[in-house]
A and B are shown apart, each in its own frame.
Chain A
Amino acid sequence: MKRLGWRRWLIVVAFLLAAAFAGLFVARTVRHAVYWSRHRDEVIRPWMSVGYVAHSYRVPPDVLYRAINLNPMPRDRRPLRLIAKEQNRPVEAVTTDLEKAIADFRAHPEQFPPPHNGHKTP
């Protein structure tokens, strides 16, 4: 009888833990879904290439390559971390330049030259 009681309580505690775990992750999923529906731009991170940032922010890649003093062709697939290292400056500085270029392009797209051949227009 004692053993059965011990097992019963173990199952109840396990159930409560599983329910709490499920509740936590359902809440996180809902939070992500709400964020998803309200934001389209991803936070720029060191793993991203200039091409991915351009694609994510729907900006011509040429605009971003020029903003960090890179030649648009041939396409540079390196992550921002490596570009920053080569330019001997922190990756945050590269990110800031890209964010500024994106803001400038979105404010005045007509002031930027047409994209270089070979790049997809976002």
Chain B
Amino acid sequence: MRITDYLLATFGVYGLPVLFVVLLVGSAGVPLPASLLLVAAGSFVEQGELNLWSVLMLSATGAVLGDQIGYVVGRWGGRRLTLRFAKLVGGENRIEQTETWLRKREGVGVFLSRWLLTPLGPVVNLTAGATQYSWPRFFLYDVLGEMLWVVLYVLLGKFFSDRVQALNDLLGDLTWAILGLIAAIVLGVLAFRHLRAD
């Protein structure tokens, strides 16, 4: 039995505690099918087995707490690791420049990686912590993004409650397609500039 099947079966029997734990652990960086459980939760709400507000509140709380774990790990562990690496290769100035660049754009990154580019979420948490991005700002963008993600996926699951698996497959591939397209556009612009400079 696959891990996704096992989690869905456990969620079906034990309900909200499983949803909370999976969202917390998944947001902290462990690769678990959190989006699938949100869609399934929407379906269970539609079938009258779970309460909509409890699902939304617990899911958002679990996800936000998991993100804070990632941020704290990045802030303490990641910072030390980055500085040690910079000393080794002698690129302290470069690291500072990168951090300044990241700090200016991290708010948008945090927000988008909560609901649109979800596979990047755990990496963005670590980076935000490692670059000492302001915690109140991180928390604000995190809460906004996670609430949007939870509401969007649960309502989609509620609306298409009879097709949880098909919906999850569609959303999963759509997310990777968007991520790939953004990467291709950014790298395409860079490649074009380099080629033109020659």
Number of interface residues of A (CB under 8 A): 42
Provide the main secondary structure of the chain A interface. Answer: helix
**Residue B30, interface by CB 8 Å:** no
Q: Complex: how many Å from CA A52 to CA B173?
A: 24
The total of Cβ contacts below 8 Å across the A-B interface reads 116
**Residue A66, interface by CB 8 Å:** no
Size range of the chain B interface in the assembly: 35 or more
Say yes or no: B191 contacts A15, CB within 8 Å: yes
Say yes or no: B183 contacts A22, CB within 8 Å: yes
Complex interface: chain B residues within 8 A of A107 (CB): none
Q: Complex: how many Å from CA A27 to CA B183?
A: 17
Q: Complex: how many Å from CA A35 to CA B168?
A: 13
- With both beta carbons as reference points, the residue of chain B lying nearest to A35 in the complex is identified as B166
Say yes or no: B198 contacts A45, CB within 8 Å: no
Q: Complex: how many Å from CA A15 to CA B185?
A: 8
Q: Complex: how many Å from CA A15 to CA B194?
A: 12
Q: Within the complex, which residue of B4, B169, B180 is in contact with A18, where a contact is CB–CB below 8 Å? A: B180
Q: Complex: how many Å from CA A24 to CA B180?
A: 9
> Shortest CB–CB separation between residue A1 and chain B, in angstroms?
10
Q: Complex: how many Å from CA A57 to CA B4?
A: 21
Say yes or no: A8 contacts B6, CB within 8 Å: no
Complex interface: chain B residues within 8 A of A26 (CB): 177, 180-181
Say yes or no: A43 contacts B177, CB within 8 Å: no
B residues sitting closer than 8 Å to A (CB atoms) are: 1, 4-6, 8-9, 12-13, 43, 46-49, 161-167, 169-170, 173-174, 176-177, 180-181, 183-184, 187-188, 190-191, 194-195, 198
A residues sitting closer than 8 Å to B (CB atoms) are: 4, 7-8, 11-12, 14-15, 18-19, 21-26, 28-29, 32-33, 35-36, 39-40, 42-43, 45-49, 51-52, 55-58, 77-79, 81-82, 120
